[in-house]
Amino acid sequence: MTSAEAFMDRVRSRDPNEPEFHQAVAEVVESLWPWLHREGQRYLDAQILERLVEPERVVSFRIAWVDDAGKIQVNRGYRIQMNGAIGPYKGGLRFHPTVTLSVLKFLAFEQVFKNSLTTLAMGGGKGGADFDPKRKSDAEVMRFCQSFMTELQRHIGPDTDVPAGDIGVGGREIGYMFGQYRRLRHRFDGVLTGKGPEWGGSLIRPEATGYGAIYFAQEMLATQGQRIQDKTVIISGSGNVAQFAAEKCIALGAKVVTMSDSSGFIHDPAGIDSEKLAWIMELKNVRRERLKEYAEHFGVEYYPGQRPWAIPCHVAVPCATQNELDSDDAKQLLDNHCMCVVEGANMPLTTKAVAQLQSHKILFGPGKAANAGGVATSGLEMAQNSQRMYWSRERVDGELHTIMRKIHAACCEHGQRPDGSIDYVAGANIAGFIKVANAMLAQGCL
Which residues are documented as binding site? 90, 111, 114, 165, 209, 240, 378
Which one of the listed residues 71, 105, 126, 331 is annotated catalytic? 126
316-340 in b/e burial notation, b at 16+ Cβ within 10 A? Answer: bbbbbbbbbbbbebbbbbeebebbb
CB 130 within 8 A of CB 99: yes
Strands 340-342 and 264-267: unpaired
- Chosen from ligand AKG, ligand NAI, none, partner binding at 168 (C-beta under 5 to 8 Å by type): ligand NAI
Task: Out of 168, 365, 379, 432, point to the residue binding ligand NAI (CB under 6 A).
Answer: 168
383-421 in b/e burial notation, b at 16+ Cβ within 10 A? Answer: bbbeeeebbeeeebbebbbebbeebbebbbebbeeeeee
SS3 for 142? helix
Residue 26, phi-psi category: left (phi > 0), alpha (psi -120 to 50), beta (remainder): alpha
Number of residues this chain uses to bind ligand AKG (CB under 6 A): 12
Question: What is the rounded (10 degree) CA torsion for 206, 119, 439, 424?
Answer: 90
Pick the piece of the chain touching ligand NAI (CB under 6 A) from 9-17, 232-240, 349-357, 403-411. 232-240
Of 234 and 375, which CB lies nearer to ligand AKG in the complex structure?
A: 375
Q: Rounded to the nearest whole angstrom, what is the least distance from the CB of residue 346 to ligand AKG in the complex?
A: 5
Of 114 and 255, which CB lies nearer to ligand AKG in the complex structure?
A: 114
The reply on whether position 375 binds ligand AKG by CB under 6 A is: yes
Q: Which of 282, 280, 264, 261 lies closest to 272 in space, CA to CA?
A: 280
SS3 for 253? coil
CB 96 within 8 A of CB 132: yes
- Angle, helix 205-222 to helix 373-387, in steps of 10 degrees: 130
Report the residue number whose CB is nearest to ligand AKG: 92
Q: Rounded to the nearest whole angstrom, what is the least distance from the CB of residue 110 to ligand AKG in the complex?
A: 7
- Chosen from ligand NAI, ligand AKG, none, partner binding at 90 (C-beta under 5 to 8 Å by type): ligand AKG
The reply on whether position 318 binds ligand AKG by CB under 6 A is: no
- Distance separating alpha carbons of residues 192 and 181, to the nearest angstrom: 9
The reply on whether position 120 binds ligand AKG by CB under 6 A is: no
Task: Out of 20, 166, 268, 343, point to the residue binding ligand AKG (CB under 6 A).
Answer: 166
Q: Which of 237, 267, 274 lies closest to 252 in space, CA to CA?
A: 274
Give the contact letters, 177-206, x = binds to ligand AKG (CB under 6 A), - = no. Answer: ----------------x-------------
174-187 in b/e burial notation, b at 16+ Cβ within 10 A? Answer: bbbbbebbbeeeee
Task: Out of 371, 384, 385, 429, point to the residue binding ligand NAI (CB under 6 A).
Answer: 371
The reply on whether position 96 binds ligand AKG by CB under 6 A is: no
Binding site for substrate: residue ranges?
90, 111, 114, 165, 378
Number of residues this chain uses to bind ligand NAI (CB under 6 A): 23
The reply on whether position 239 binds ligand AKG by CB under 6 A is: no
Of 20 and 140, which CB lies nearer to ligand AKG in the complex structure?
A: 20
Q: Rounded to the nearest whole angstrom, what is the least distance from the CB of residue 234 to ligand NAI in the complex?
A: 14
CA dist list (Å): 168 to 230, 236, 263: 32, 16, 16
- Chosen from ligand NAI, ligand AKG, none, partner binding at 258 (C-beta under 5 to 8 Å by type): none
Q: Which of 111, 178, 168 lies closest to 374 in space, CA to CA?
A: 111
- Distance separating alpha carbons of residues 185 and 188, to the nearest angstrom: 8
Tell whether the torsion through CA atoms of 101, 104, 108 and 109 is positive or negative.
Answer: positive
Q: Rounded to the nearest whole angstrom, what is the least distance from the CB of residue 444 to ligand NAI in the complex?
A: 32
- Distance separating alpha carbons of residues 429 and 415, to the nearest angstrom: 9
Q: Does the annotation count 126 as an active-site position?
A: yes
Q: Rounded to the nearest whole angstrom, what is the least distance from the CB of residue 289 to ligand NAI in the complex?
A: 11
Pick the piece of the chain touching ligand AKG (CB under 6 A) from 52-60, 86-94, 172-180, 283-291. 86-94
Chain residues in the site for ligand NAI (CB under 6 A): 165-168, 170, 209, 237-242, 261-262, 319-321, 324, 344-346, 371, 374
Chain residues in the site for ligand AKG (CB under 6 A): 90-92, 111, 114, 164, 166, 193, 346, 374-375, 378
Residue positions annotated with a catalytic role: 126
